[in-house]
Amino acid sequence: MPDLSFQITGVEAATRGLTPLLHFTLAVRNSPPEETIHAVLLQAQIQVEAAKRHYNEQEQAKLYELFGPPAQWGQTLRSRLWTHAATNVRSFSGSAEAVLPVTCTYDLNVAATKYFYALDDGDVPLLFLFSGSIFYASAEGHLQVQPISWSKECTYPMPVAVWKAMMEHHYPNSAWLSLPRDLFDRLYAFRRQHGLPTWEHTLERLLPPLPEDAPAIERRAKTNGEVPR
């Protein structure tokens, strides 16, 4: 009977994806190695092991909404589900390599996106929990199906830079904000009443500038041929 083991060996953003998509490289090994595996239908639950990394002061402030004040992190900083993914592994004997695609979102209402966005650098400690079905040939040559043991798992430190570069590629110098319809209608009415050309102008009119924002505001004003307020 086959005994599969799994290991994530790398990750990169899909270069031609229409939406943000990460490709995790997955190494699969079987014991005994001479046994022929016809196919593997593989599912993975991916969790963020948030307690397994350090957070600087800026990151702690951004993560307040998820975990509360750092003084409480001994109770609140727990592993959280990121997403589910699936892939098929081709026929092999001994070992094989496959790609595990993971669709990502830049919706900052999603807890995982809030977490990734809050991090400056370093790695995201991920835990992959595998399940699925193995199709293989018995000693008599008959096709057999065996479930993947629920104990099959592996960890992987995903570089934060990979996620940030992917989002910057799809949404350069931008962030997404989802609003309730009634609040959007009020904001849209304010924009029309004041004759503001863009949503950026609308929010800058409403929000008092912070000292550290001054250079960016001045650059945008010069680009638009305006006088910064």
The verdict on residue 121 lying in a domain is: yes
Give pTM, 2 decimals. Answer: 0.83
- Give how far Cα 187 sits from Cα of 181, 197, 228, Å: 10, 13, 22
154 lies in the same domain as 65 = yes
153 lies in the same domain as 191 = no
155 lies in the same domain as 193 = no
CB burial string 125-163: b at 16+ within 10 A, e below: bbbbbbebebbbeeeeeeeeeeebeeebebebebebebb
Taking residues 167-176, report their average pLDDT.
88
The verdict on residue 31 lying in a domain is: yes
7 lies in the same domain as 78 = yes
DSSP character at residue 173: T
| Two structure tokens written together for 134 | 């193995």
Q: Which residues are 134's β-sheet partners?
A: 40, 146
The verdict on residue 191 lying in a domain is: yes
The verdict on residue 89 lying in a domain is: yes
Confidence of residue 215 (pLDDT cuts 50, 70, 90): low
The verdict on residue 21 lying in a domain is: yes
Q: Where does a domain end: 128, 143, 170?
A: 170
Distance CA 101, CA 129 (A): 15
Place of tokens 């929000």: 207
Can you point out the beta strands (E) in 90-151? 92-93, 95-103, 123-137, 143-147
Confidence of residue 111 (pLDDT cuts 50, 70, 90): very high
113 lies in the same domain as 51 = yes
For residue 101, what is the domain's CATH number?
A: 2.60.40
84 lies in the same domain as 142 = yes
Confidence of residue 221 (pLDDT cuts 50, 70, 90): low
Confidence check: pLDDT of 193 > 80? yes
**Residues 116/163, Cβ–Cβ less than 8 Å:** yes
Q: Mean pLDDT of all residues in the chain?
A: 90
* Total count of domains within the chain: 2
183: region left, alpha or beta (phi > 0 left; psi from -120 to 50 alpha): alpha
164 lies in the same domain as 186 = no
Confidence of residue 179 (pLDDT cuts 50, 70, 90): confident
Taking residues 35-64, report their average pLDDT.
96
Least confidently predicted of 99-108, 126-135, 140-149: 140-149
**Residues 46/128, Cβ–Cβ less than 8 Å:** yes
63 lies in the same domain as 142 = yes
The verdict on residue 175 lying in a domain is: no
40 lies in the same domain as 84 = yes
Residue 174 has what pLDDT? Answer: 84
8 lies in the same domain as 67 = yes
The verdict on residue 176 lying in a domain is: no
138 lies in the same domain as 201 = no
Confidence of residue 208 (pLDDT cuts 50, 70, 90): confident
Distance CA 50, CA 67 (A): 10
Taking residues 194-219, report their average pLDDT.
76
Place of tokens 């977490």: 115
* Closest of 182, 222, 183, 181 to residue 206, by C-alpha: 183
Confidence of residue 220 (pLDDT cuts 50, 70, 90): low
**Residues 95/33, Cβ–Cβ less than 8 Å:** yes
* Closest of 191, 185, 221, 226 to residue 206, by C-alpha: 191
The verdict on residue 228 lying in a domain is: no
**Residues 144/39, Cβ–Cβ less than 8 Å:** no
The residue segments making up the domain with residue 64 are: 3-170
